[in-house]
Structure 1
């Protein structure tokens, strides 16, 4: 089976990757690090337009995802596969987890005020509500 770590380009990603690696090692599962780019970031940051090309197949997109995964796993001693998706993070994480029959989805939420929770959607919260498998929230200070 697979343990899926949903990572972003933040300090939380290393916490998520570490927790996912521990679970993968405990069950002798594969570890997949999934990073979802939104289209505007691809254009703004990577200066990549993907009219007819599958974003996951683009060299620059894969290189950026590999950089993010390397930063997240700098202290992790467990082999991991980097997976790139483009679009809505919630949809992509949940669909990828289903496609590989992931044992767990590991994600890292951030602390928010009650007002912030009511006004703004949380990727972590939406993944927990939409996934059909266990979701582990790797808590932290962020």
Structure 2
């Protein structure tokens, strides 16, 4: 197992997923990439300023990835962080093609996103062509 992709949204579940990925990476000498996705909300057409909402999401994602990098550093691990935009589950599945394992928390950040986008974890597990480790 050379490359591990960790899905990270800043939730406690994603922090647990990152910790588990670090353990695996240390055991197998794997590289870790931490991925966060800025969701596209403009398709909803609900009368909001999409640019403002997306910039708020992006700022939150950037902060989450800084925290993920701190966790990696604290554990003595090198790893890269990546921010992409789109529908989270679709982006994760598409991006994961060059990885050996996807590690994701059993739940995501909040119920609002789950309502808008459905269960990202469930969709990733159902559609990924790579193995998926769901961390509780």
TM-score by length of 2: 0.72
Q: What's the CA shift for 1:47?
A: 5.5
CA distance in 1, matches of 2:12, 2:60: 16
Q: What's the CA shift for 1:14?
A: 1.2
Give secondary structure in 2 for the equivalent of 1:8: coil
Match of 1:43 in 2: 52
Q: Is the 8 A contact 1:18 1:73 kept in 2?
A: no
CA distance in 1, matches of 2:55, 2:79: 24
Match of 1:10 in 2: 11
RMSD: 2.6
Match of 1:29 in 2: 30
Larger helix proportion of the pair: 2
Q: What's the CA shift for 1:110?
A: 2.7
CA distance in 1, matches of 2:37, 2:14: 13
Q: 1:129 aligns with which of 126, 130, 133?
A: 126
Give secondary structure in 1 for the equivalent of 2:100: strand
Give secondary structure in 1 for the equivalent of 2:90: helix
Match of 1:81 in 2: 80
Report the CA distance shift for 1:66/1:30 in structure 2 as closer, same or farther (over 3 A): farther
Per-residue Cα deviation, 1:26-48 (whole angstroms, up to 9, x for no partner)? 22111000000113386316259
Report the CA distance shift for 1:92/1:42 in structure 2 as closer, same or farther (over 3 A): farther
Q: Is the 8 A contact 1:7 1:33 kept in 2?
A: yes
Q: 2:65 aligns with which of 64, 69, 82?
A: 69
Q: Is the 8 A contact 1:14 1:71 kept in 2?
A: no
CA distance in 1, matches of 2:85, 2:51: 9
* Runs of at least 5 residues in structure 2 that lack an aligned partner in the other structure: 42-49, 109-116
Per-residue Cα deviation, 1:10-29 (whole angstroms, up to 9, x for no partner)? 22221111111111222211
